[in-house]
Each structure stands twice: as C-alpha cells, then as structure tokens.
Amino acid sequence: MPRALCLAACLAAVCVSWSSAADAVDEDSSFAAAARLYRDSRGDHAGAAEAFARFAERFPRSERAGDALYAVGEIDFDRGLALANADPGFSAAVRPSRVRPPSSPGA
C-alpha cells in the first residue's frame, strides 16, 4: 500500500507539473497572439483589444495581466481620439464656451 500511495503522489506531482508547463506555454502563446493582432491590425485594433481582455480574464495572476489591461486601455483611448478627430463638430462641442452665462436677475 505505501508503494501505491507513493506512486499516486508521484503521478499527481507529474500531472501538476505538466499542467503548469502547459499553462505557461498557453499563456505565452495567448499573449503573443494578442500582440500579433495589435501589430498586424493596420489601425483597427478591436480584435487585439478583445484578445488582450480575454488574456487578462483567463490569466489574472500572470505577470503580463497588467500589460494586457494597459493595452486594452491604450486601444480604447486611441479609438476615442480617432472618433474625436473624425467628427469636426466634436472639438467645437467640447471646447469651453466663451459666452458668459446670463447674469442673475437683480444683480
């Protein structure tokens, strides 16, 4: 019985070790795929943002989870700038008004 217990413990350790190695490879390939989408997307980074978000969701404890979330934020920021630049009325709408507010009655 002790020999069977030792064999089961060794087998469990090998499985855990193999699983960790597979996760590391999967983590590396997932991040690399998201980075490749970003690099190859020619300005339309929506797919890369989704891939980076999935990476951060799937590997929240990864050393690169923060990088993935940063990339999502950067892509969203860039998309916002692109929208602002595409609409000529946008800058006029967000520019502070030079018109003074009406004075209150009795002032």
Taking only the tens of pLDDT, the chain with its 107 residues reads: 455 444 444 444 444 444 455 556 799 999 999 999 999 988 778 899 999 999 999 999 999 999 999 999 999 888 887 777 776 665 665 555 555 556 656 55
Residue 33 token pair: 């795929």
Q: Is residue 76 part of a domain?
A: yes
- Which domain, by its residues, includes 64? 26-89
Burial code (b: 16+ CB inside 10 Å, e: under 16) for 73-103 equals eebeeeeeeeeeeeeeeeeeeeeeeeeeeee
Residue 28: per-residue pLDDT: 94
| Residue 101, helix vs strand vs coil | coil
Residue 75 token pair: 């892509």
Q: Is residue 72 part of a domain?
A: yes
Q: Is residue 94 part of a domain?
A: no
Tokens 């069977």 belong to which residue?
4
CA gap 55, 75 in Å, rounded: 15
pLDDT one-digit tens code per residue, 4-26: 444 444 444 444 444 455 556 79
How many domains, in total, are found in the chain? 1
Q: Is residue 63 part of a domain?
A: yes
Q: Is residue 83 part of a domain?
A: yes
Task: State pTM to two decimals.
Answer: 0.59
